[in-house]
Amino acid sequence: MREQELIVYKDFDNGDLLKDMVFLMENYEDPGSDKNELQALFYKNIHELLELAGNYGFYGNLWHCYLSHLLVNNENSYSKAAEIVGEVEGSINDAVLHDIVILKELYDYDFTHMALTLEVKDFNIVFNYKGSLRESKVYNQRIVKRIVELAEDFNKACTPQEMKDILTKFYKDYGVGKFGLHKAFRVVDNGSDAEIVPITNISHVYFEDLIGYEVPKQKLIENTEAFVKGLPCNNCLLFGDAGTGKSSCIKAIANKYYDDGLRIIEVYKHQFEALNSVIAQIKNRNYKFIIYMDDLSFEDFEIEYKYLKAVIEGGLEKSPQNVLIYATSNRRHLINEKFSERGAKDDEVHFGDTMQEKLSLVARFGVTIYFGAPTPKEYFEIVKELAKRNNIEMDEKELVDRARQWELNHGGYSGRTARQFIQYLQGTVCNQ
């Protein structure tokens, strides 16, 4: 079968549909084949293409979108090299061109005669498909648009070499595989190793959405911009009061610097033992990775922080230049301390060593940024600005009075409290 002749582009995810289509191409005219079985397989493939459109958000020629989807997700020696340097030198180009010749044949295949022979009606729906407006379950609209546009560019290619050039440029511009297409990831324990999987519905938060905190935001931006530019930079701890925008700033970082090659990987405390595995998977890729730890803190009996210390500084292996650690916490020193520890030393032979052990983790974050709760005046300014942005028309005195009452019952002065108050107004006052 033709797809078995591929030598670089092999082991496609979602590749069963490709095998079934090639089987149809090679056997639909065979008089010894069961026509009913082939017809059923054709309908099954049409169904899978429609499911692909529903899950991924594709539109237009779904066969072309499917093949393009396979190519942009196939991480091989060529695609990973091309995402770094673009055009690659050496004999690998001949091997890739060999594969592109085969893939272009599949791409340009005319299904008309197959459909007539197998008496499959309405097959054209998959070649001029109009998608719905709902969000993709797998990709956001930006990624969908790029893959559809790549499929359209392939359609303009007259030769396999032109198709190869288009694909190589895509790798250089956007990367390959999950790291090339997605902004944010989480770590999943698959039983044998840490698996990095995309987060497909990251919040569309931007710095301009966060009212106030200009100095903390600027410190975070400066450190991150130095990182994406390859300049000296530091691991970063965002600490302070709850609801002040620490986590939102990390989401804003992911959205602001995606086009500069920045990716965010969220790791939970119970996964710290897998940090070395995570770093091993990303240290040689052409992206900048921030390993993000939200709401980080440790009780005195928890030892996971020791894994984190070793990863940040202390191991024999040099820290990769494309990896930083950003953490948020309500605690300045991350590890729980008790006044009794500072006063009663009778049970501890080397009490000072124990305290240094607990304080040494935060010292490994070169940049620490404080997010404090807003003053009442700042809180009301946030409320008024959010009301203005959300077109809530209410007398200012009434707005402030109601915001004050809301704050008394919902956790005190914070940006989160202000946002929740505005959402309450949107769901009640604005719908009356």
- Region 98-112 average pLDDT: 95
Are 251 and 272 contained in the same domain?
yes
Are 193 and 163 contained in the same domain?
no
Instruction: Identify the domain boundary among 161, 178, 195.
Output: 178
Are 234 and 349 contained in the same domain?
yes
Are 210 and 300 contained in the same domain?
yes
User: What is the Cα–Cα distance from 326 to 215, expressed in whole angstroms?
Assistant: 17
Report pLDDT digits (tens) over 239-296.
Answer: 988 888 999 999 999 999 998 999 999 998 888 888 888 999 998 888 999 999 998 8
Beta partners for 262? Answer: 288
Report pLDDT digits (tens) over 66-90.
Answer: 999 999 999 999 999 998 888 888 9
| C-beta separation of 323 from 261 below 8 A | no
Are 328 and 406 contained in the same domain?
no
Assign 339 a pLDDT band (cuts: 50, 70, 90).
Answer: very low
Domain with residue 274: its CATH number is 3.40.50.300
Instruction: Identify the domain boundary among 345, 371, 397.
Output: 371
Are 229 and 294 contained in the same domain?
yes
Range of the structural domain that residue 132 is part of: 2-178
Instruction: Identify the domain boundary among 178, 202, 237.
Output: 178
According to DSSP, the β-strands at 184-189 and 194-199 are antiparallel
| C-beta separation of 42 from 114 below 8 A | yes
According to DSSP, the β-strands at 184-189 and 262-266 are parallel
426 vs 203 pLDDT, higher one: 426
Contacts of 29 (CB under 8 A, 6+ apart): 117
3-state helix, strand, coil in the chain (%, to 5): 55, 10, 35
Give φ, ψ of 198 to 5 degrees.
Answer: -70, 145
Are 405 and 321 contained in the same domain?
no
Candidate from 68-82, 216-230, 317-331, 373-387 with smallest mean pLDDT: 317-331
The structural domain count of the chain equals 3
Q: What is the pTM of this model?
A: 0.80
Are 98 and 115 contained in the same domain?
yes
Report pLDDT digits (tens) over 407-422.
Answer: 888 878 888 999 999 9
Orientation angle between helical segments 160-174 and 92-107, nearest 10 degrees: 110
| C-beta separation of 319 from 281 below 8 A | no
Closest to 62 measured CA to CA, from 40, 43, 47, 74: 47
